[in-house]
Amino acid sequence: MRDFNFPNGRLPLVAALDIEGTLTKIEGWDFLAEKRSKEIQEEIEKMREEGMHGGDFEGSLRGRFDLIKPTPEDIEMLQKAYCETIGEDVIKIINLLRKEFKRVICISGGLQDAILPFAKELGFDPRDVFSIPLTPQGRLPDNHTLYSRDGKKTILDEVIAEERKKHDPQNRKKFYNIMIGDGMTDAVCKGDDVIFIAVGNREKVLKVADFHVKSIGEIRTFFK
């Protein structure tokens, strides 16, 4: 591995983090499926892999939601599980990124009611946490940016544009950004000014990653 030392003078701007499987050691739907039948567990795992590897993410998400039918008690239990399975050195890594980058955000295809309380525990402002809210009736919304395979990229691009305008209104500087995650919906964020760091061991994801770490704690080796 090497540190992010760009010879062309690019400056760090935005760091984006996935949550499930990246900051935590669990996948939310898998965790909830364990409380159901073995058949549901197997179906949930199949749907998750299809969604994570670039398939019909919205269909996969709705399918998992309909199978699990999460209750408010499930959501609360999941939020607690996130906190109990936090990855090694996550707080240190987030603090490190905050020192390096102008803005650090979380983008997750998970449910906001569980994701947001967890992110707040990590010190994130709600404005820097992007996830999928439920309707007042406890259902998935009809439409949401994160339903798209490119949803995370859309959100990250918008945040980058905001920060560019704030920190370089004359558009004279060159910046770089990073996306850290474990799925193909994270990998699609990769671009000319976005470095993708893959976490974990999903082969398809590793093939397109700029860098690879086994766990989030290894990110600290990128910075000196």
Q: Which tokens sit at 161?
A: 């544009």
Residue ranges of domains in the chain? 11-26+87-222
Rg (CA), the chain: 17
Cα atoms in the Cβ-side hemisphere of radius 13 Å centred on 172: 2
Tell me the C-alpha distance between 48 and 45, whole Å.
5
b/e map 117-155, b = 16+ CB within 10 Å = bbbeebebeeebbbbbebeeeeebeeeeebbebebbbbb
Please write the tens of the pLDDT for every residue from 154-179.
Answer: 999 999 999 999 999 998 889 999 99
How many beta carbons lie within 10 A of that of residue 77, not counting itself?
15
- The pLDDT, as a whole number, for residue 58 is 85
Tokens 């569980």 locate to 114
Please write the tens of the pLDDT for every residue from 41-67.
Answer: 888 888 876 665 556 778 888 989 998
DSSP state of 167: H
Question: Would you say residue 112 has pLDDT above 70?
Answer: yes
CB 94 within 8 A of CB 222: no
In terms of CATH, what superfamily is 11-26+87-222?
HAD superfamily/HAD-like (3.40.50.1000)
pLDDT band at 2 (very low <50, low <70, confident <90, very high): very low
Percent of the chain residues past pLDDT 90, beyond the cut: 67
> What mean pLDDT is reported for the chain?
90
- The pLDDT, as a whole number, for residue 38 is 86
